[in-house]
Structure 1
């Protein structure tokens, strides 16, 4: 990650009040070791679960509604911000307009970070909070200090500037709310000017269901279906590790290479059907992938979970009686059962 621009502004607002004050830093923060370390912490927190994705309603901006896309269109040219401090100050002033009507919301530190990664330009806008801590002076006496809270992000936004500027129809905006209440998440979405935000976990679950529906439509036997689901899972895991969006066409390419172009087209047809209406690109939530390769269920008295490729091998299912027969039990479970039977 190569940081191009970095600046922090402060918005002062107390919970229960409507009045907010913007304290704008006049110049950019220096990109030193501390800034780089903090930027890495922000990135690691951002890439945890709970991400949403979207795109601008008006990519080039308009006089009405959110002004963020219009400010970007004005200030970001040729992969560079001519006046990053001015751009961020205008953004912070716009943010303040959406924040003030929400009495429950508090102010904080607005972090703006323009960086480049793999020839792609990104912009972070993150709301950070201060917290009180205890420091130890040179004479080993205790004192109360203020520091930036880095255990969690309250609200954060990342825009793929390269994709947005090229007119990409994908979901080039990624954002997360942390544990912000609904009233705060709503004003943050309005500030962004985001079109139909999608939760990554929900979109990943749709992909899992789509994969199962495709296997069922093609009549794949269990072993073949499980092998294909494992391939899809591994492809998705790799995208999640690289923090890159997954294009649905990539899965269709896997179908074509393993089966046929006709079946790849069938996969895309199901993806585009009313039952799924998959986006062209999605961000993968790793935890939501489990159902691709595992079967699980629970009741008040029983919890059962196993890899789907065991079905037909050490786990056999009788559809007529609705029963499972399990062989090759885990040694620890087998030992417990044997001790109880003695």
Structure 2
């Protein structure tokens, strides 16, 4: 990874305070400094270990309400200029101070905010993260224990990463962000400050989840169980939707783990969440199941001049499959089996009317 810019600033706020202040300390750091590189690597590793990422894009319909967005676009005009990066950092800190002081984030506390622009052969990124310090123990020259304060880079309280390359290409989901696992709007102040309110649409997360389920089965020797597993995933989404509940990758991961053979459990158990949350699927850790997308995967609807079909796909199979609805490719016919008594009565009554 090439580290292009890095800045460290401090956001001052205690829990339940109504205001937040930006410290005069810190600023742009020397990226040639080995300690700065070590700090950046630790920060990046901590971010990439997080599996509960939410993906999305800027709320560009309301850029005036989120000044960071326009500041980011101005930065892209000349990414190499340190002064452009410094202006971007100042805009970010200003928005953070306003967001963390909002009533919904009143109990949140400040910390050190690290901004880093870096890149590889595949993409360039902007990463912004909030970290705090912790006390530790060291030995002085006389080998006496002494307390030291160190930055806790292992625990990210809030973070947002913008895929600069994807943003320039005009694609969706160029944004990934994390928050604490607490419930409530306090977890969203960091992403809100940067205009990261347009998270992955439920339609996209729903569709990509089902695609990830199929690919995971194919890549992990679960091909024979793929149809059954995908049906379970779709059923889970339908159940969550009908109960007006969100879908959660942890729940779906547990569903997958139940199908993993014991001999593969050590390497495969607990991995589906990370698989679906990462690229190319970028399924949000939690999302609302999308009705029409679920129906597209779970139901088959067809219509002709004199009839129409509407049934669940799991009821369909080829001839001699034993499914309730069988399709014979050779004759081009569809056979309905095990018709309920009520349906049979309706058919008989209709035929009697036609023949009477």
Q: Same fold (TM over 0.5)?
A: yes
What residue in structure 1 maps to residue 185 of structure 2? Answer: 183
Q: SS state of the match for residue 293, structure 2?
A: coil
What residue in structure 2 maps to residue 99 of structure 1? Answer: 100
TM-score by length of 2: 0.57
- Which residue of 168, 172, 175 maps to 2:174? 172
CA distance in 2 between partners of 1:245 and 1:108 (Å) = 30
Aligned: 1:62 with 2:63: yes
Aligned: 1:275 with 2:294: yes
What residue in structure 2 maps to residue 245 of structure 1? Answer: 279
What residue in structure 1 maps to residue 11 of structure 2? Answer: 11
CA distance in 1 between partners of 2:120 and 2:26 (Å) = 27
- Contact map agreement 1:26 1:85 (CA 8 A) in 2: no
* Gap change, CA 1:6 and 1:211, over 3 Å in 2: closer
* Gap change, CA 1:45 and 1:26, over 3 Å in 2: closer
TM-score by length of 1: 0.59
What are structure 2's unaligned runs of at least 5 residues?
A: 218-222, 231-255, 257-267, 283-289, 298-321, 324-356
- Which residue of 152, 157, 163 maps to 2:155? 152
CA distance in 1 between partners of 2:193 and 2:55 (Å) = 15
* Gap change, CA 1:12 and 1:208, over 3 Å in 2: same
CA distance in 2 between partners of 1:69 and 1:91 (Å) = 9
- Contact map agreement 2:71 2:87 (CA 8 A) in 1: no
* Gap change, CA 1:209 and 1:3, over 3 Å in 2: closer
Q: Report how many aligned residue pairs link the two structures.
A: 241
* Gap change, CA 1:275 and 1:10, over 3 Å in 2: same
Structure 1 vs Structure 2 CA RMSD: 4.0
- Contact map agreement 1:159 1:174 (CA 8 A) in 2: yes
Q: SS state of the match for residue 10, structure 2?
A: strand
CA distance in 1 between partners of 2:229 and 2:142 (Å) = 65
What residue in structure 2 maps to residue 124 of structure 1? Answer: 127
Q: SS state of the match for residue 294, structure 2?
A: coil
Aligned-pair CA distance for 1:133: 1.7
CA distance in 2 between partners of 1:45 and 1:205 (Å) = 29
CA distance in 2 between partners of 1:136 and 1:54 (Å) = 46
What residue in structure 2 maps to residue 264 of structure 1? Answer: none
- Contact map agreement 1:53 1:199 (CA 8 A) in 2: no
What residue in structure 2 maps to residue 75 of structure 1? Answer: 75
Aligned-pair CA distance for 1:224: 8.9
* Gap change, CA 1:130 and 1:26, over 3 Å in 2: closer
What residue in structure 2 maps to residue 108 of structure 1? Answer: 111
Aligned-pair CA distance for 1:79: 4.3
What residue in structure 2 maps to residue 89 of structure 1? Answer: 90
* Gap change, CA 1:100 and 1:131, over 3 Å in 2: same
- Which residue of 34, 53, 56 maps to 2:55? 53
- Contact map agreement 1:52 1:176 (CA 8 A) in 2: yes
Q: SS state of the match for residue 28, structure 2?
A: coil
What residue in structure 1 maps to residue 196 of structure 2? Answer: 194
CA distance in 2 between partners of 1:46 and 1:199 (Å) = 23
CA distance in 1 between partners of 2:170 and 2:155 (Å) = 32
